[in-house]
Amino acid sequence: MDTLIHVSNVSKRYDSDGAFAVADVSFDVRVGEAVAIMGPSGSGKSTILNLVAGLDRPTSGTVTVAGQRIDSLGETGLAKFRRRQVGMIFQFFNLLDDLTVADNVMLPAQLAGLPKARARRQADDLLERLKISNHRQAYPARLSGGERQRVAIARALVNSPDILLADEPTGALDTATGEEIGRLLRELNGSGQTMIMVTHNPELAARYANRLITISDGKVAADSGAPSAEGSPVSSAAVRS
């Protein structure tokens, strides 16, 4: 299978005299994988996700996505990379409160240069697919947490990104809603979407990812490795060990 993401000996410190948030991390992600990243608070999970997203640059090491070295891209190149190749969702959704649902989802497509009519069509299709189109003219404040996360997922997918990155996507949701979002992510992965999800929830990792990477003190402590040919979920035992 094709390697989509190649993270090689990546370290990151935010201050030149500070501690390493991430220290010598290496892993590859193949096209179509659903990877869960788990680890204690402050262990470096969000930093790793942000480095893959091109939101930040490593202090050393290389990050290659779809054949392109993104650690050495300039600001313009990185902005373009983020717009077209990565979709990202967060614990608290990060929707724009003064835009409607439809306008939130259209925005990244318009920023990527799509004509408005096409951006609207793309947004409508995704809202339909994520079963949230009845709220297309609503403002985010009117929606439940689960509905907001569906909108955020639609927005993340509007430019058909190579990778979907999710930073604790169910962290602000109740158990049932979290499971619903987990199932949705699993379905998206089933239709081919490569994804990396940071989660505190072992059940979610076991049921909705097919590989688990455990981070501890900025390092990879365990990596369940390649999924089987069937892409079966990692076992609960593997997640808890």
Ligand X SMILES: Nc1ncnc2c1ncn2[C@@H]1O[C@H](COP(=O)(O)OP(=O)(O)O)[C@@H](O)[C@H]1O
The footprint of ligand X (CB under 6 A) covers 14, 21, 39, 41-47
Assess contact for 161 and 86: CB atoms under 8 A. Answer: yes
CA distances from 121 to 125, 132, 143, 156 (A): 6, 15, 22, 15
Distance CA 108, CA 2 (A): 27
Q: Pick the closer one to ligand X by CB: 13 or 129.
A: 13
Number of chain positions touching Mg ion (CB under 5 A)? 1
Q: Pick the closer one to ligand X by CB: 43 or 224.
A: 43
Q: Which of 10, 21, 25, 46 binds Mg ion (CB under 5 A)?
A: 46
Handedness of CA 178, 182, 187, 193 (dihedral sign): positive
Interface segment toward Mg ion; rule CB under 5 A; list 5-13, 41-49, 76-84, 176-184? 41-49
Say which entry of Mg ion, ligand X, none residue 44 contacts (CB below 5 to 8 A, set by partner kind).
ligand X
Question: Could you tell me the strand order of the sheet in which 163-167 lies?
Answer: 86-90, 163-167, 194-198, 34-38, 211-216, 219-223
Distance CA 81, CA 76 (A): 9
Say which entry of Mg ion, ligand X, none residue 210 contacts (CB below 5 to 8 A, set by partner kind).
none
Q: Pick the closer one to ligand X by CB: 146 or 218.
A: 218
Shortest reach from residue 23's CB to ligand X, in Å: 11
Q: Pick the closer one to ligand X by CB: 43 or 122.
A: 43
